[in-house]
A and B are shown apart, each in its own frame.
Chain A
Amino acid sequence: AQSVSQHNHHVILSEAASLELGCNYSYGGTVNLFWYVQYPGQHLQLLLKYFSGDPLVKGIKGFEAEFIKSKFSFNLRKPSVQWSDTAEYFCAVNRYTGNQFYFGTGTSLTVIP
């Protein structure tokens, strides 16, 4: 079955620690890749996206993600997290031929001051 996997369900970090959240997908064709963030009590907001070109994409708030096609992965990174990064993070995949988005199960990030 086609799916998006986020292996880290709950991550707890201290401020200034580095972050890497894993995302793997199982679609064989061309895909578009996204990371969304959901702050407590809020709606999903786009952090960054990859369509084509440079596999290392930079998003808002110091986040970046790297698309590794051979590994079907699109991991999210941030070199130094802040307390305000505490949120739920969702990876999503949009198959090139359709408008359906497939979301991962989400990773809850808690940053301790």
Chain B
Amino acid sequence: DTAVSQTPKYLVTQMGNDKSIKCEQNLGHDTMYWYKQDSKKFLKIMFSYNNKELIINETVPNRFSPKSPDKAHLNLHINSLELGDSAVYFCASSPTGERGEQYFGPGTRLTVT
């Protein structure tokens, strides 16, 4: 069974379009995250949700909007895509109140042309 899943795995789109990436975890975790990994493999946290509430919102353009319909899902919507948004986006989850590690999804490779 997949613990943290993301769809789609690959996403190729043109500048100016709006796209969404979905993430689901079946681990029963309370906290979910979105990370952006650039071409140099640098991993940058974007958002964190705990029980559907936003708890971390790093300096990210407001074109990026996370949505958590329930604690098992954290979707990422991106408006007006730009070339610089091309990256691999990873979803992750972790338990709250414990010192647990983060479990990562397989990643979504976004290419903006």
Q: Give A residues with C-beta under 8 Å from B.
A: 32, 34, 36, 38, 42-46, 49, 51, 88, 90, 92, 94, 96, 99-101, 103, 105-106, 108
17 further A-B contacts with Cβ under 8 Å, apart from A43-B104, A46-B103, A105-B42, are A32-B99, A36-B104, A38-B41, A43-B90, A43-B105, A43-B106, A44-B90, A90-B43, A92-B102, A94-B99, A99-B31, A99-B48, A99-B55, A99-B94, A103-B45, A105-B41, A106-B43
Interface residues on B, range: 20 to 34
Q: Which of B96, B102, B106 contacts A101 (CB 8 A)?
A: B102
- Alpha-carbon distance A32/B94, docked complex (angstroms): 13
Known: A34-B101, A45-B104, A94-B99. A106 touches B42 (CB 8 A): yes
Interface of A is mostly: strand
Among A90, A99, A106, the most chain B Cβ lie within 10 Å of the Cβ of A99
Interface 0/1 of B38-68, CB less than 8 Å to A: 0001110100101000011000000000000
- Smallest CB gap from A90: residue in B: B43
Interface of B is mostly: strand
Among B41, B90, B94, the most chain A Cβ lie within 10 Å of the Cβ of B41
Q: Which of A42, A46, A100 contacts B106 (CB 8 A)?
A: A42
Q: Which of B94, B99, B103 contacts A51 (CB 8 A)?
A: B99
- Alpha-carbon distance A38/B103, docked complex (angstroms): 12
Q: Which of A90, A99, A101, A106 contacts B50 (CB 8 A)?
A: A99
- Smallest CB gap from A42: residue in B: B106
- Alpha-carbon distance A44/B94, docked complex (angstroms): 14
Docked-complex contact B105 and A46, CB < 8 angstroms: no
